[in-house]
Amino acid sequence: MTRNVVWWLAIIWISCVIAGSLMPTSMKVAIGTTKSGPIEARPASLLHRVFHFGSFYGAAFLVLLLASSRKQEFLAAGAITGLAIGVEASQHFIMGYPLFEWWDVRDDAIGIVMALVAIQVEGVRGRLIVEGQK
């Protein structure tokens, strides 16, 4: 893949993460990522937690593929962490969720850290991106 393809994949992936995170609760219940009932009484299901981990792992990994220095990697990871916090803040303050779901931010952060670890594996970037093309 070229860097341009990865860039577009990252935009599409992150857009889907935002749209999926901000969809109405009734739709989340319908697809099975959220249980019905008051938020205070429904612990996050395993599927819900995997969704958070995978969504933010994917977002971070794609953006990290584009980083060309350690500093850019940490800035990218910080930006995706900011996105995770922003999504949860939007759900709480704009959509009216009664709780700020820190446990979701925790699951997102685990995915982001795992992407940081994965990108450090020797040769990952070189195998996935055709160098020299921007």
78-130 pLDDT per residue, tens:
999 999 999 999 989 988 888 888 999 999 999 999 999 999 998 888 788 76
Average pLDDT score over residue span 9-27: 90
96: alpha, beta or left? (left if phi > 0; alpha if psi -120 to 50): left
Query: What does the pLDDT look like over 4-16, one tens digit per residue?
Result: 999 999 999 999 9
**CB environment 1-29: b (16+ within 10 A), e (fewer):** eebeebbeebeebbeebbeebeeeeeebe
- pLDDT higher than threshold 80 for residue 66: yes
Question: Which CB contacts under 8 angstroms, 24+ apart, belong to 95-103?
Answer: 95/22, 97/39, 98/38, 98/39, 98/40, 99/39, 99/40, 101/39, 101/44, 103/44
pLDDT at res. 134: 45
Residue 55 near residue 17 (C-beta atoms within 8 A): yes
Q: Can you read off the two tokens belonging to residue 15?
A: 């857009």
Residue 130 near residue 2 (C-beta atoms within 8 A): yes
What average pLDDT is seen over the chain? 87
- pLDDT higher than threshold 80 for residue 21: yes
- pLDDT higher than threshold 90 for residue 54: yes
Average pLDDT score over residue span 26-54: 73
pTM to 2 decimals? 0.85
